[in-house]
Amino acid sequence: MAEINKIEVKDLDFYYDEFQALQDINLEIKENKVTALIGPSGCGKSTFLRTLNRMNDLIEGNRVEGKVIFDGEDIYNKDTDVVELRKKVGMVFQQPNPFPKSIFDNVAYGPRIHGIKKKGELNEIVERSLKGAALWDDVKDRLHESGLSISGGQQQRLCIARALAVKPEVLLMDEPASALDPVATAKIEELIDILKQDYTIVIVTHSMQQAARVSDNTAFFLMGVLVEFDKTERIFENPSDQRTEDYITGRFG
Partner 1 sequence: MLLLMKNKRMFIDKFFRYVFLGFIGVALLILAVLLYDVFSAGIKMLDWDFLTRFDSRFPEKAGIKAGLFGTLYIIALMIPITFIVGISTALYLEEYAPKNMLTNFIRLNIANLAGVPSIIYGMLGLGILVRTLALGRSVLAGSLTLSLLVLPVIIVSAQEAIKSVPASLRNASYAMGANHWQTESKVVIPTALPSIITGFILAISRAIGETAPLIMMGALTFVMFTPEHIMDSFTVMPIQIFNWTSLPKKEFELVAAAGSSVLLTVLFILNGLATFIRYHYSSKY
Q: Which residues of the chain form contacts with partner 1 (CB under 8 A)? A: 53, 55, 58, 60, 82-87, 90-91, 93, 95, 97-102, 109-110, 112-114, 146-148, 159, 162-163, 166
- Identity of the residue, 10 or 112, whose beta carbon is nearer to partner 1 in the bound complex: 112
Q: Which is nearer to partner 1, 43 or 89 (CB)?
A: 89
Nearest distance in Å: CB 186, partner 1: 24
Least Å distance between CB 39 and partner 1?
22
Q: Closest CB to partner 1 among 180 and 222?
A: 180
Select 11 or 145, whichever has its Cβ closest to partner 1.
145
Half-sphere exposure of 59 (CA within 13 A, CB side): 14
Of residues 55 and 134, the one with the C-beta less far from partner 1: 55
Instruction: Give the 3-state secondary structure of residue 219.
Output: strand
Strand-pairing partners, residue 69, are 8, 74
Angle between helices 182-195 and 152-164 (to 10 degrees): 20
Interatomic CA distance for residues 215 and 62, integer angstroms: 29
Q: How far apart are the first and last CA of the chain?
A: 36
Least separation in angstroms between CB 156 and partner 1: 12
> How near is the Cβ of 70 to partner 1 at its closest, in Å?
14
Whole-number minimum distance, CB 204 to partner 1, in Å? 14
**Residues ≥6 apart with Cβ < 8 Å to 234:** none
Contact 71, 4 (CB under 8 A): no
Enumerate the β-bridge partners of residue 65.
13
Taking the complex as a whole, the smallest distance from the CB of residue 94 to partner 1 amounts, in Å, to 9
Q: Residue 166: which of 112, 236, 94 has the closest Cα?
A: 112
Q: How far apart are CA 142 and CA 156, in angstroms?
A: 17
For partner 1, the closer CB: 87 or 131: 87
Phi-psi region of 40 (alpha: psi -120 to 50; beta: other; left: phi over 0): beta
